Structure 1
């Protein structure tokens, strides 16, 4: 068994850190601070962090094939030009639900963006129920709605053969799978592949590894769980020194480092004293597995 090491690499940089993604071409980690309304870019080689102010809540950021990034800001999918610190709106979703916001988003292997929304939060993880949806945005910026009545649209990934889409609606306490047609983007045949146990918290952000298994950050669970979506078995639990673990991705030169974001929003003074690293981003090494490169949006 390899010896797993957990290290806080970016100290308390986020109220709600989310959506980490490793950008191969830059050797940097992108992640967002939802409530802090910022996109962060961190370089492990220099330990420098740069920030981009979004002016509204930002749920995710992903690389874009034509350059720059695409992010979910408020209810808009926006293009981000880091060099000019400018954003340009590409499409808007949930026009009929002004209180909604985009949460997690990820790009499929052919370059299609999937992004989900959620209703207004009274406090972290307490939302207006069934207000959210799951959308896809293709290369010509056409938008398709796949799911409605979602509570908190969250973690997404795909099987190695691209025929299965994995998805989390956090308050359901499950990781679900759908049949996936990568040509059309159609999803169907929803089923549960893992149900979280008592004490594991809420399933939040998720990433897949090179073996086709899933890593799920558990909000209020202080852990990332490693599950086999074929057997539904939890293979491993990685404990972190913070309870509000939010999302994860693989990165580093050979994709063997697991980066995990966390949140501090919602902790009282006592909680912050007990968990001083809350809101930080962590690097987990020694897992003995590798991840896969992130996909870039083709639009």
Structure 2
């Protein structure tokens, strides 16, 4: 990040516009926790001119009145709309991330959007869908530290016209035990301060690799869908999932499948046809998991060839 004015001043005045994948985001906040989080974790992103048309204009603000001083809180605003109740002040930066997820998943219907992490290698996308607690973000964080490119930690965007996965690389959200697992395994990574006592427990964010941010314009062809499940002291297990079952699971995890109607059905059908799907149980051996996924990609490429 660089610009003619200090970034904190641009954020405070609502003039900071950054490019995140296919989106331009205007960020406005005078809260130091938000400004510091943007400075530290979004330093690799391109700054756009202040008068750029924005897909989303988001603000993190403090409520007026005594709440500004007593039991401080923070509000998330999308344009002039405040869709959430206020959260404790200490959660301001995670609130920015959660709120931006809500904006993208609720208003970007040119894509089919699935609640899934997604990474890339050889131009092929590995989609990791999962409910909270499945270990998808932990596995995603490990893979991008093992040579995979981050496309997204939370939202898999499938272009309805091409069927390709469109990257929207942002900081990787880690929770509870996953924080220490990833921090201990990959100590050179940069993390935001841990925030405790959220609805998700303790949370922090891992800075995305600069290479993933720089290549955010490069889409990937969906190839594998792996439903991960972390299970301590278990042996690594990979089980094929029939396409019909994979379709139903992905539809359940999609934010806008129903909203898109027939177009959602067609896009999901194309996605499932292009991918092999598996259930995957792992115990934290990230190198073994990465090697297995690379082998799966090689196998798929050989069958296609």
The two structures have a TM-score, normalised by structure 2, of 0.29
Q: TM-score, normalised by structure 1?
A: 0.29
| Structure number, greater radius of gyration | 2
More helix per residue: 1 or 2? 2
